[in-house]
Structure 1
Amino acid sequence: MGSIKKARIRWFSLIRIFGLGMVLYYHYFKTRYAGGFVGVDVFFTFSGYLITALFIDEFIRRDKVKLWAFYRRRFNRIFPPLLLMVLIAVPLSSIANPDLRTNLTKQITATLSFTTNFYEISTGGSYETNFIPHLFVHTWSLAVEMHFYLIWGLIVYLVSRTVKSAKYFRTAIFSVSFVLFAVSFLSMFTQIKGLSEYSPIYFSSLTHGYPFFVGAMIGSFCGVGQSAQGFNQLTSRLTWKTPLIGFVVSALLLFGLGTRMKFDQASTYAYGILLGSLITGCLIIFARLLHDKAPNVAEPRFITYLADISYAMYLFHWPLYIIFLSYFNNNIKAVVAALIGSVIFSTLSYYYIEPLLMGKPVAYQKAVGGPLLFAMVILGVVTANYAVDAPHMSSLEQHLWVGNLYQDADQIQAVHAKVSQPKQTVPVSQTNYNVPQGISIIGDSVTLGARSYLLEHVKNSDINAEGNRRMDQAYDVLMNQQNNNQLREYVVICIGTNAFPDFKEQIDKIIHDLKKGHRLIFMTPYDGHADATYDSTKIAVYERTLPAKYPFITVTDWNKIASSHPEVFEGTDGTHFGGIEKGNILYTKGINDAIKTAGKKTVKA
């Protein structure tokens, strides 16, 4: 057993900063760094390590673990900056799109009760594709972390009551960590197949808890104050160069992993997050070794400062960013403003507010303590007022909801007319294939948002649209209409934003199973956040090749039209134009132009 060392390990600050940097880069420039969300798993792994190592130190020092003292320390560290973030973000949101305050009371309640992950799962929230991003969606990770503290703290406490030897305590902690790691990882791994949305398993404390236990296993080995004998022997054999090189290589690998992972890929959940946690484990071990092998090298004060405010930075960076993005409608300006604001508020939180709220004696307490508390009370009143007046549905969601209601009403009216009126002969096309005249449009939420305008401006059209619809689901709608002789001569498929890697197979299936006599039109999808690596972009590329292969297929390129008119998506999620008149006009014109072109071509024969 090694001797007791200082509790603060030099170079751990770099791990905190590195993880934060990955998350910020991802949130601010998602299309450039699509896998930066793995930075959250850096936090998870490091937390599992640090908490477990400190538990072991406490047991060796006192022969027991004080559970309530641990809970109190964690709450005092986590809650004050969280409360401050809410009290600042909500009043500041007054300069932004009011939709950001949708269901604000529920958002605040979930945030302060550490249940944001459950809230997002229960409301069908998506980590990447919400129409209007939630102000506090990023606190899902804080909820998962708090759940880990509660459960792991209790487990370690129970182990400490049954194991009296420090050696066996360390072994028991490692063993339990491994079992819980296996349960959590297998829970995620077995739920991947067939998922259309990965957010529920990403948000879940059960399926996304295993990075903590990767850290816990490492913590039971290399420790903070005291380490296992094997780790001490390893330390004695190395020079300072080996851990330094290992740390740099691990950091590069972790950053590179962030360039390869994507949120909507099954591989991310099969092995990507696990790989990120294991590389973070290597970072921890190499930093721990470097601390021992370079005892005379001091950590730069600036690095320590950034590590101190890193937690509060994580809390502030997201709400400030989406507020300023809505206000400026310019990403660079929003990033700069969010970074400046985050640094200022994080510094204020760590060095002034948190000590004051935790009752720590500080020199400035008499001078500024009263004014600071008074300011927080005022912010609390303003926040409560905004929460009470917040809308329960965003304007875009309202627009889609109304579209759904009208579509349902039209379908009920059509069924009623079919039942109550004498059977009438449905006009058929003049192509000798006995298919109904007109246009059948099968679309997703973008089509649903434009439905009313389309019905007025696309003659003799029938629209079937639904949010989050995929190509395989569009196929089912098409087959149902075709089997009931309801599929009209012109078939317009407006699907693709909700894409899967098997999109070619699904598109080819539609082409193959469409009966003779129809003219098929594909509208390429548009996602304002997508780059060339996204499946939605690849769908557009593939659909553009189809008219050359099939004379009865026409393509209307909404992807190109939309990308040429960014003003259509101001104040939206970058995919839905949500009733903006110019968006309706452009979208409808694209379909009408394609119908004219298709009319000059042959039908499927």
Structure 2
Amino acid sequence: MTQTPPLRPPLPRADRLGGLDGLRAIAVSLVLGYHLFPGWLPGGFLGVDVFFAISGFLITALLMREHRSTGGIALRHFWKRRARRLLPALGLVLLVSTSLALLADRDLLVGIGRQITGAALFVSNWTSIAAGSDYFARDAPEIFRHTWSLAIEEQYYIVLPLLLLLVLRFRGRFVRALPLAAIGAASALLMVALAAAGADPTRIYFGSDTHVFGLALGAALALIAAPRSAPAAPAGALGADPAAAPAAAGPIAGPRMPGTAAQFALAAAAVAGLGVLGWLAATLREGSAESFAWGFQLATAAALLTVWAVTRPGARIGRALDAPPLRWIGERSYGIYLWHWPLLLIATAVLGGWPPPAIGAVTLAASVGVAALSYRFVEEPVRRFGMRRSLALMLRRARTAPRLRWAPAIAGLAFAVAVPATVVAVATAPEQSTAVDAVERGKAARDAEQPAAETGGDDATGGQDPDAAHEGAAAGPIEPEGPDLTAIGDSVMLASLPELEERFPGIAVDAEVSRGLGVGVEIAAQQADAGALRPVVLVGLGTNGPIDPEELEALRTAADGRLIVLVNAHGERDWIPGVNDALDAYADAHRGVVVADWDGAIAAAPAEALAGDGIHPNPSGGERYAESVQRALSELQQPGEAMGFSVPRR
């Protein structure tokens, strides 16, 4: 009986580029912390840029080794290896995740056909840009949004071997590296320039032209500094081939060990690089001006410094980073990265009532477990033997090993279910999410109200001067009515607009999507200057980001003594508890300011009161929003030291 060959023969330790598996484990941990536990690592998205730097260095080092060994680069063989390494795991994620999303939440299927096509063809970064997707939006996350990074890598690897064939005609390491270094510098500067010009942050983040510098500079570093005795190496990035070097290279004499001083210098360089990455991961804000101006560039430089230090022949810091737990994670980081994002969205839809850290922990465990199975039974067999031979080996093992007897049947059944389910998901996907439906309902009510306001003959205060009304308060308190209210809010208020207008006829609402408190302060000041700000100012602007107490004070200054109702926020976003605490503290400390407890009102409501994102209200949720405002207005009329004055009679 023919014995089945082992899937992966162990590689000699001297034949590996040290430290890269451990560095990959750190990189994927940054990404997991950023996505699974919001607020813990606000700059954890830089883990992808660490992958880029590792990948550019490693793949170029392997191609250089092939060129030294054979005198050329086998383009067809290189691209075939890349396909074997990437496509099986990616295809499995696309099929399984789409099928689960069909069962979990149809909101996850919005744009699913475009997402699958973009991911499978490695152009998802550009298809997302063309579709107007927002990487930094939390309202409608796409289930395969994270494949943008694979797209940039694979687009680059179509071009990289061709560039190497050109630059290898030159003599000297630095001369060869210069064109790739120039490409990297141009890409980094283009990111800075577009950000300074006010370009869309997603366009800057997703663009192959603006975000390829880590790969290009990693390749330049490999041309200058890659060890000449670097045969096979561990996978260095998202899907880099762990055994991409040709077997014909043969053994190479081991390198001379660096001395104590050199070891100390290499360790210091690696620690410095990792320290910078840790600082950036803990402090850099996503989509911020500073991230595009220097954050990504500094992270790439720190990653390249670390790569250089840990891959020096004989570097003990490299061996330390290749400790077994880190190496195990690093080898499976491609699968962990692929699975974590869709599983997070699916888990959030299914376990929506759980605390975010619990959902993150469940997702982490599931991602690592599924990635380990994918690595063992899908990625490694196909990478080593190809698809057809891997299937033949699986059938042979099932016949000879009783414990694997049912494996082919289970795999076939899963495939037979997942493919039709994916087809159904694509064919029946909604055009927009329920959250968008909720906001569009509010926009329709707003647009229907505008023509009436334009032809009604009165101004925004019902034909009276708001400042005059503000100055002439009545002797006793009365309940504020719609004409007394100016409302300034975000998409949550906009989705609640029909119910607000029904409960408070004549209310003036200025609400828009993705608006923060800073914009609301400007609007209030402008309306006050124009004489259009009414006696009671209703503000609901805590959904889209943290609130600065200075902004609250600026709002109170703009209101110029008017009563203020602050609507708190609801949703699974890391800043919302802090927002609500800040609003409560400010209202407790200032007269004429109260909080409308929208968070408490909607938390006790049935699930159908909110759209699928758990943030935007449906009609029944809009009623609770209006009720929370009504209760806050009643509090304004309660006697006591906190209030001390009444709403002016109209």
Deviations 1:467-511 (A, max 9, x none): 11234543564466556655433221222433489x667655554
**Aligned: 1:326 with 2:329:** no
Q: Of the candidates 320, 328, 341, which is equivalent to residue 370 of structure 2?
A: 341
Displacement after TM superposition at 1:212 (Å): 1.7
Partner AA of 2:439 in structure 1: L
Pairing of 1:431-580 with structure 2 (within 5 A): 431=469, 433=471, 437-475=483-521, 477-478=523-524, 486-499=532-545, 510-514=555-559, 518-526=562-570, 528-531=572-575, 537=578, 541=582, 544-545=585-586, 548=589, 551=591, 553-556=592-595, 558=597, 561=600, 576-579=615-618
**Aligned: 1:587 with 2:610:** no
Counterpart in the other structure of 1:398: 437
Partner AA of 2:61 in structure 1: A
Q: Of the candidates 221, 226, 232, which is equivalent to residue 218 of structure 1?
A: 221
Q: Of the candidates 86, 99, 107, which is equivalent to residue 99 of structure 1?
A: 107
C-alpha separation between the residues in 2 aligned to 1:301 and 1:147? Answer: 32
C-alpha separation between the residues in 1 aligned to 2:36 and 2:605? Answer: 18
Deviations 1:8-60 (A, max 9, x none): 32332111222122212222112222222111111111011112222332333
Displacement after TM superposition at 1:135 (Å): 1.1
Counterpart in the other structure of 1:171: 174
Q: Give the SS at the match of 1:431.
A: helix
C-alpha separation between the residues in 2 aligned to 1:511 and 1:567? Answer: 35
Partner AA of 1:554 in structure 2: V
CA distance 1:290–1:95, change in 2 (3 Å): farther
Identity %, equivalent residues: 22
Partner AA of 2:298 in structure 1: L
Deviations 1:234-283 (A, max 9, x none): 94675656545654564455334322222143333333322322222232
C-alpha separation between the residues in 1 aligned to 2:222 and 2:608? Answer: 48
C-alpha separation between the residues in 1 aligned to 2:373 and 2:288? Answer: 36
* Contact 1:320–1:341 (CA under 8 A) maintained in structure 2: no
Q: Of the candidates 301, 307, 311, which is equivalent to residue 334 of structure 2?
A: 311
Q: Of the candidates 200, 203, 217, which is equivalent to residue 200 of structure 1?
A: 203
CA distance 1:44–1:572, change in 2 (3 Å): farther
C-alpha separation between the residues in 2 aligned to 1:456 and 1:424? Answer: 17
* Contact 2:499–2:619 (CA under 8 A) maintained in structure 1: no
C-alpha separation between the residues in 1 aligned to 2:607 and 2:414? Answer: 40
**Aligned: 1:268 with 2:286:** no
Counterpart in the other structure of 1:188: 191
C-alpha separation between the residues in 2 aligned to 1:381 and 1:80? Answer: 18
Counterpart in the other structure of 2:282: 259
C-alpha separation between the residues in 1 aligned to 2:514 and 2:318? Answer: 56
Deviates more, 1:118-127 or 1:39-48: 118-127
Counterpart in the other structure of 2:247: none
CA distance 1:345–1:117, change in 2 (3 Å): same
Pairing of 1:17-416 with structure 2 (within 5 A): 17-160=25-168, 163-165=169-171, 167=172, 170-193=173-196, 198-226=201-229, 235=258, 240=263, 243-244=266-267, 247=270, 250-251=273-274, 253-289=276-312, 291=314, 304-329=327-352, 330=354, 331=359, 332-355=361-384, 357-359=386-388, 364-367=393-396, 372=411, 376=415, 378-416=417-455
C-alpha separation between the residues in 1 aligned to 2:522 and 2:200? Answer: 19
* Contact 1:544–1:555 (CA under 8 A) maintained in structure 2: no
CA distance 1:200–1:382, change in 2 (3 Å): same
C-alpha separation between the residues in 2 aligned to 1:464 and 1:62? Answer: 69
C-alpha separation between the residues in 2 aligned to 1:473 and 1:297? Answer: 50
Partner AA of 2:484 in structure 1: G
C-alpha separation between the residues in 1 aligned to 2:453 and 2:51? Answer: 55
Partner AA of 1:530 in structure 2: D
CA distance 1:547–1:294, change in 2 (3 Å): closer
Displacement after TM superposition at 1:377 (Å): 5.5
Q: Give the SS at the match of 2:66.
A: helix
Q: Give the SS at the match of 1:467.
A: coil
Partner AA of 1:278 in structure 2: A
C-alpha separation between the residues in 1 aligned to 2:196 and 2:323? Answer: 47
* Contact 1:95–1:327 (CA under 8 A) maintained in structure 2: no
Displacement after TM superposition at 1:183 (Å): 1.4
C-alpha separation between the residues in 1 aligned to 2:30 and 2:581? Answer: 30
CA distance 1:570–1:148, change in 2 (3 Å): farther
C-alpha separation between the residues in 2 aligned to 1:155 and 1:187? Answer: 21
Aligned residue pair count = 582
Q: Give the SS at the match of 1:441.
A: strand
Partner AA of 2:427 in structure 1: V
Unmatched runs of 5 consecutive residues or more in structure 1: none
C-alpha separation between the residues in 1 aligned to 2:564 and 2:287? Answer: 29
Q: Give the SS at the match of 1:522.
A: strand
C-alpha separation between the residues in 2 aligned to 1:355 and 1:111? Answer: 23
CA distance 1:285–1:563, change in 2 (3 Å): farther
CA distance 1:517–1:565, change in 2 (3 Å): same
C-alpha separation between the residues in 2 aligned to 1:595 and 1:257? Answer: 44
In the superposition, the TM-score normalised over structure 2's length comes to 0.77
Deviates more, 1:390-399 or 1:7-16: 7-16
* Contact 1:446–1:575 (CA under 8 A) maintained in structure 2: no
CA distance 1:529–1:291, change in 2 (3 Å): farther
Deviations 1:148-186 (A, max 9, x none): 2233333333334xx253x2xx32332123212221222
Q: Give the SS at the match of 2:539.
A: strand
Partner AA of 1:587 in structure 2: Y
C-alpha separation between the residues in 2 aligned to 1:390 and 1:410? Answer: 32
C-alpha separation between the residues in 2 aligned to 1:380 and 1:564? Answer: 38
* Contact 2:609–2:618 (CA under 8 A) maintained in structure 1: no
Unmatched runs of 5 consecutive residues or more in structure 2: 1-12, 231-254, 399-406, 474-481, 638-642
CA distance 1:318–1:348, change in 2 (3 Å): farther
* Contact 1:91–1:386 (CA under 8 A) maintained in structure 2: yes
Deviates more, 1:60-69 or 1:322-331: 60-69
Q: Give the SS at the match of 1:555.
A: strand
Displacement after TM superposition at 1:395 (Å): 1.2
Q: Give the SS at the match of 1:289.
A: coil
